[in-house]
Amino acid sequence: MILFDRVTKKYGKKGLALDRVSLHIAPKEFVLIVGASGAGKSTLLKLLTREEKPTAGKIVVGGIDYDQLKDREIPLLRRKIGTIYQDFKLLPNRTVFENIAFALEIVGMTSKEINFTVPRVIDLVGLNGKEKSFPKELSGGEQQRVAIARAVVRQPKILIADEPTGNLDPKHAWDVVAVLEKINQHGTTVLMTTHNQDIVKKLKRRVITIDGGRISNDTSVKAGAK
Ligand code: ADP
């Protein structure tokens, strides 16, 4: 469902961030993307969300050929792709419930539907009882779980997590990874960048290594493993 065919991204004339990257990610995969800082990981994710356009090459996601994508279709594309980041990006003056509800309000959902849907994702990420808390009253791990809830409440096909555990201590990092695994088990494709070697080793998922804008290694786990 995610296809990159010889995708190159240059920022300006010199900044070669990705160099003819080809990859295929099947629906419902959980893929870790690793590589040193500056390797091109975020660029790869930004090409997926259409925050950046490739300099050359083809990108097809869920049957949508990005070459054919019109600007007015981008909001619809982004509803199919949830995103979370290292710094959570929550609205500080809104409660947990309101932060998640906001993602539904902006697509015109009624309050009845919102009141039905939001408690279900709060339950999914294990934040029952925290509905009325504000972000600053939560731990980093809890804040990231609110961000995940907000990202998945519209049931995207793909969840992009750019260094989601970067600001968290190991325990909270694993809480967040556990929630991402659960979401993956519900059928969402998960792409996650990480510098955390412990997570890479223990998770036993496909790992794509990017080095200097190229894929230097791609391991997928054999059948029978998790
Ligand atoms: P990573 O996420 O692996 O740290 P990035 O994709 O952010 O790597 O960056 C890859 C390369 O592209 C780096 O050399 C970086 O400096 C460059 N780069 C990233 N974003 C921009 C930008 N907006 N303008 C110019 N150069 C950029």
- In the chain, what are the domain boundaries? 2-80+156-224
* Residue with tokens 């990981």, as numbered in its chain: 41
- The CB of 55 under 6 Å from ligand 1? The reply is no
- The CB of 194 under 6 Å from ligand 1? The reply is no
- The CB of 68 under 6 Å from ligand 1? The reply is no
- The CB of 37 under 6 Å from ligand 1? The reply is yes
pLDDT at 13: 85
pLDDT at 223: 43
Domain covering 2-80+156-224 in this structure, CATH number: 3.40.50.300
- The CB of 54 under 6 Å from ligand 1? The reply is no
pLDDT digits (tens, 9 = 90+) for 157-216: 999 999 999 999 999 999 999 999 999 999 999 999 999 999 999 999 999 999 999 999
pLDDT digits (tens, 9 = 90+) for 191-207: 999 999 999 999 999 99
pLDDT digits (tens, 9 = 90+) for 137-150: 999 999 999 999 99
- The CB of 18 under 6 Å from ligand 1? The reply is no
Nearest-CA residue for ligand 1 atom 5 is 40
* Residue with tokens 């959902």, as numbered in its chain: 109
C-alpha of residue 195 to centroid of ligand 1, in Å? 16
Residue whose C-alpha is closest to residue 159's, from 191, 123, 121, 200: 191
Specify the long-range contacts of residues 150-153, CB closer than 8 Å, at least 24 apart.
Answer: 150/90, 150/99, 150/100, 150/102, 150/103, 151/82, 151/83, 151/84, 151/103, 152/82, 152/121, 152/124, 152/183, 152/188, 153/100, 153/103, 153/104, 153/117, 153/118, 153/121
* Residue with tokens 């309000």, as numbered in its chain: 105
C-alpha of residue 18 to centroid of ligand 1, in Å? 9
Ligand 1 pocket mutation pick from 7, 9, 10, 11 by most atoms within 8 angstroms of CB: 11
pLDDT beyond 90 at 225: no
pLDDT at 226: 45
C-alpha of residue 172 to centroid of ligand 1, in Å? 28
pLDDT at 34: 97
